[in-house]
Amino acid sequence: MSEPAVAEKARAANRGLGFIAEPRTLAWLSVVALLVAWEGIVWAANLNPIYLPAPSGILRALIDLFRNGGLGTDLVITLWRIFAGFAIAVVLGVAIGIWMATSERMRAVADLYIAALYPLPKITLIPLLIIWLGTGGPFMLTISALGAIFPVIINTVLGIRQCDAGLVLAARDLRANQSQIILKVLLPSAIPSIFAGIRLGLGVSIILVVAAEMVVGKVGLGGRLFLAGQVLETEQVFAVLIVLAILGIVVTKIQDVIDVWLGHWRID
């Protein structure tokens, strides 16, 4: 073999090794290695699927649940509950945050309630909300909104209060009224901070909705998870957990893309 051919072969090998060494490739390879090891351990130890099913069995259960078990319907119901309540929290949270940041009296009053309610584990409110609202839509929307509203409020206040005072003075010199200052100066400067609160709040909303569905135990991914556990269908339990994990990955990646876009926007 000629020297140029040998050199080209070496370069191709280096490119292949470089591709494998890329962080994203390594991440997916680690997932594949974990699944292979998991499958091998279950097969070698002949473990009862009730305790630890093999990935192949979980995949079959996942496909069957989507085809015949109504898992797709449960997913849609859970997503609706999460994002409907979350949207309410964003609108109310931003509005309350703006009010607190621009009014000393409002901030003094609201700070007391936020200091009392924000550290309170929201999952402990589920029994009380069931008594007040029942187990239907209003209950689910409320628990989802409660998960997101406090991070949104707090980050909105922080974002507005960190706005450059010179921009506000310049707007006033141009005879902008209070509404114009809020909409064209304060709110745009606070958008990155508001998004950080939205990012935190959405994760909490997902957790609370699934937990509430497990308590109610009727429909939704949480209800499906609870019922599968009651009848010892471990493969179905893992299947639902995989759906929740994929949902978390998708939401996180979308938020990462938005976060990068906001970073470019802020620089521009």
pLDDT of 224 reads 92
Has residue 14 got a pLDDT over 70? no
One-letter amino acid at 29 equals L
- Helices and strands (H and E) in the chain: how many: 12, 0
Residues 6+ apart with CB under 8 A from 78: 209, 210, 213, 220, 221, 222
Q: In degrees, to the nearest 5, what angle opens at C-alpha 77 toward C-alphas 73 and 80? A: 140
pLDDT of 146 reads 92
Q: Is 228 left (phi over 0), alpha (psi -120 to 50) or beta?
A: alpha
Q: Which two tokens stand for residue 195?
A: 């998004």
Q: Name the residue with higher pLDDT: 92 or 122.
A: 92
Range with top average pLDDT, 22-31, 128-137, 162-171: 128-137
pLDDT tier at 19 (50, 70, 90 boundaries)?
Answer: low
Nearest to 38 by CA among 55, 23, 22, 24: 55
Determine what percent of the chain is predicted with pLDDT higher than 90.
39
